[in-house]
Amino acid sequence: MGGAVGLGAVLAACGGSDSKDSAASGSKSADAGPWKFRDDRGQSAEAKSVPKNIVAFTGVAAALHDYGIEVKAVFGPTKTKDGKADVQAGDLDISKVEILGNVWGEFNVEKYAALGPELLVTAMWEKDALWYVPDQSKDKILKLAPSVALWAARTTIPKAIQRHEDLAASLGADVRAAGVVAAKTRFEKAAARLRAAAKAKPEIKVMIGSASQDLFYVSLAKMSADTLYFQELGVGFVEPKVDEAGFFENLSWENVDKYAADIIMMDNRSSALQPDALTSKPTWAQLPAVKAGQVIPRTTEPIYSYDKCAPILEDLAKAIEDAKKVA
């Protein structure tokens, strides 16, 4: 990540992405014969038969799980310090997968090799940069199995879901199963509800935040797949003066009131401080949205299945429907 390590680590902590469409397609044949899938790098992963021994970034593994495709091992945020499933693990049973790495920069290459992997799958926030695959061991890792990278940026939620569905279908998933169809219907209803809520309350401004001990990060909506889509549905966002990378603006806690917002969406990942950990910061407590109780979680790295994305739209729609103009 173009300074892959530098920018990647910051994104891992705070979220962020670019916004352009990707155009790539997947083979949907799940026969025992040759398998091929063209990923979002424009590269084709190939195997003599449909891969079964799959290793994936945790969030991608969670999406595949929702389509009925299970992986043998994962890497990325999977288990919290108290041993529970990380928010990015979705419905994965984390006791049944090998965890090759749980934090940024951690990937056990020896364990990976011992699994006899047939396919590696991960997300991509910048072109050709494989999310949570460490730069220092990337070459060794990529020699061991074909790889697939799917955009988590330069796209919108519906397009990202479609690509994950394409991959799942190529691996043998029944994407017309009743549960998948029902989840898609729920997602479409949720999108219509969010569009209607945004239209009914155009005055409501939303700020996208992420907190660390020393800094508060305000993200630019068009740079992430989730918030770009919300913007397309009519949601109004605070527009920060972003840094050179273009993803977000860093604010000191003294200046956290720089922007007026009616709703604050806070990064829900385990790498970010959560709102209940910010009560000791007086400037946070004085924000109008905080005083009004209009702070909601933001799923910064969505699990790209209809099942997991529908509630994200529903929650934001409800927040806007219930919001008062306070800024």
b/e map of 153-169 (b: 16 or more CB within 10 Å)?
Answer: bbbbbbbbbebbbbbbb
Bridge partner list, 207: 264
Looking at residue 241, its pLDDT comes to 95
Q: What is the pLDDT of residue 27?
A: 42
CA 77, chain centre distance (Å): 12
Beta strands in 160-284 (DSSP E): 205-211, 215-219, 236-237, 248-252, 263-267
By residue count, the chain amounts to 327
Model's pTM, two decimal places? 0.89
The helix/strand/coil state of 78 is coil
| DSSP summary character for residue 130 | P
pLDDT at 247: 83
Q: How many angstroms separate the CA atoms of 162 and 165, rounded? A: 5
Parallel, antiparallel or unpaired: strands 248-252 and 98-101: unpaired
Low-confidence ranges of the chain (pLDDT < 50): 1-5, 7, 15-30
Please give the pLDDT value at position 14: 62
How many CB atoms neighbour CB 208 within 10 A?
28
Per-residue model confidence as pLDDT tens digits over 90-137: 999 999 999 999 999 999 999 999 999 999 999 998 889 999 999 999
- Of all helices (H) and strands (E), which one includes residue 137? none
How many other CB atoms are found less than 10 A from the CB of residue 112?
A: 23
Both structure tokens of 311 = 């509630």
